[in-house]
Amino acid sequence: MSTPAFRRLLVVIKQTAWEEYSQLRARGQAPKALRWKRLESRFHTHQQCVNDLVDILKRNNLQFSCVNRVELDRQHLADVDLVIAVGGDGTCLSAAHFLDHGTIPLLGINSDPMSEEHKIVKKKKTDERTSHGALCACTAANMKGKLPRILHGGGILSTRSRIQCIVKSTFSETRLVPALNDLLIANPSPAAVSRFRMGLLKEVKEPTPSLGSMTDPSYLPKSQYGTVTRFGGKLYDVDNSLNVWSSGLWVSTGTGSSAAMAAAGGMPMDVTSDNLQYLIREHMVENAVNKEEMKDQNNALLKKGEKLHLRWNSQKGRIFIDGSHLYHNLELGDEILIDADAPPLALFTRDD
């Protein structure tokens, strides 16, 4: 067999629901209605996939180390040139957050895919309790044939755009980890209104201050909604600004357009698209004078190079990054810049 294409691998392993709830049961805190036999069966299926993967890596003489998904840290990526995520789409997304420079490729393995037998027996066409595996290059059922080929230089390595999000607060500017699927920007309470002003940023020329005005901010150019804003030291004006009362805002990549964005009524996109898409959730426009015009802005593409700006006008807010596990809290007055300038992710994809 040819020389492996990778020197050192990191295997990121999902922590299953059975493991999580077993820890709670030991403390007497587990929910009473859990189906323990089903959870344990899923755990053993996942663990068998992990054991099979370890066997494949050993037989191919590859150096590797393993880490639980919840314990993953940047120190684990030292000298690693391939990350393998074993679990499902959630494990792939978690691993991708640590690959923020885009220099290390990611390979996902769906450890518990839905079997053909279950597809026939179940009344539903799909089982929502298993991962769809949209981000996974192979599954527990076919990795013995596909994985060695990828490890020796084969497979399909694609480039996926990601969302860059920068939050500017009163005294700080925070760059969040790149999002591979989507962002949800909303009030922490799903029953509360999310209020924000939304528009597109347009870079403007830095004015030359007159003598004696260096300590006076009034020399800065004005926009329709006040003094222009800065991100990363650059000066921007806000175009096409819209005041929004809603249940929040979805922003997705082409990769994430078939996930929550699709369920919310968004547009389908090619997974390799460089554009982003935003969708206002449950936009409250009933009493607006320009109601139809506002509805037209509910769902649109954010083209490569365009920058979306939000000024958060609720007392509290939260940016959820690729699901509920990772989030950043917002406060009244925080400003948010969103674009597709995050380093893209190198992702191995299915060849079927």
**Amino acid of residue 302:** L
The per-residue DSSP string of 136-196 comes to: -SEETTTHHHHHHHHHTT-SEEEEE--BEEEEE-SS-EEEPPPBSSEEEEE-SSTTSPEEE
Q: For residue range 295-323, list pLDDT tens digits in order.
A: 668 999 999 999 999 999 999 999 999 99
Give the Cα separation of 123 and 111 in Å (integer): 23
- 143: which 2 tokens? 């990795």
Per-residue pLDDT, 289:
56
43: Cβ contacts below 8 Å, ≥ 6 apart: 16, 17, 18, 19
The residue assigned the tokens 């190079």 is 305
Report the pLDDT averaged over residues 140-156.
Answer: 95
Report the pLDDT averaged over residues 99-107.
Answer: 95
Q: Is 220 exposed, middle or buried (0-12, 13-18, 19+ CB in 10 A)?
A: middle
* pLDDT exceeds cutoff 90 at 211: no
* pLDDT exceeds cutoff 90 at 114: no
Per-residue pLDDT, 222:
57
Q: In terms of DSSP bridges, do strands 276-280 and 299-302 run parallel, antiparallel, or are they unpaired? A: antiparallel
Q: How much of the chain exceeds pLDDT 90, in percent?
A: 78
The residue assigned the tokens 């299953």 is 16
Per-residue pLDDT, 220:
55
Distances (CA, A) of 36 to 205, 317, 343: 63, 36, 41
Per-residue pLDDT, 117:
52
* pLDDT exceeds cutoff 60 at 337: yes
Per-residue pLDDT, 318:
98
- pTM listed for this prediction: 0.89
The residue assigned the tokens 């700006």 is 309
Q: For residue range 76-89, list pLDDT tens digits in order.
A: 999 999 999 999 99
Q: For residue range 259-295, list pLDDT tens digits in order.
A: 999 999 999 999 999 999 999 999 987 665 566 666 6
Distances (CA, A) of 80 to 65, 197, 301: 10, 42, 35
Q: For residue range 17-41, list pLDDT tens digits in order.
A: 989 999 989 999 989 888 999 999 9
Q: How much of the chain exceeds pLDDT 70, in percent?
A: 86
Contact yes or no for 187/317 (Cβ under 8 A): yes
Q: For residue range 156-205, list pLDDT tens digits in order.
A: 999 999 999 999 999 999 999 999 999 999 999 999 999 999 999 999 98
Kindly indicate the confidence band of residue 250, based on its pLDDT and cuts at 50, 70 and 90: very high
Per-residue pLDDT, 297:
81
Determine the angle formed by the axes of helices 17-26 and 36-59, rounding to 10 degrees. 120
Q: Provide the 8-state DSSP code for 275.
A: -
The 10 Å Cβ neighbour count of residue 244 is 22
Contact yes or no for 199/242 (Cβ under 8 A): yes
Kindly indicate the confidence band of residue 132, based on its pLDDT and cuts at 50, 70 and 90: confident
Mean pLDDT, the chain, rounded, equals: 89
* pLDDT exceeds cutoff 90 at 42: yes
Give the Cα separation of 26 and 21 in Å (integer): 9
Contact yes or no for 6/151 (Cβ under 8 A): yes
Per-residue pLDDT, 206:
76
Give the Cα separation of 236 and 228 in Å (integer): 6
- 188: which 2 tokens? 């922490």
Helix (H, G, I), strand (E, B) or coil at 127: coil
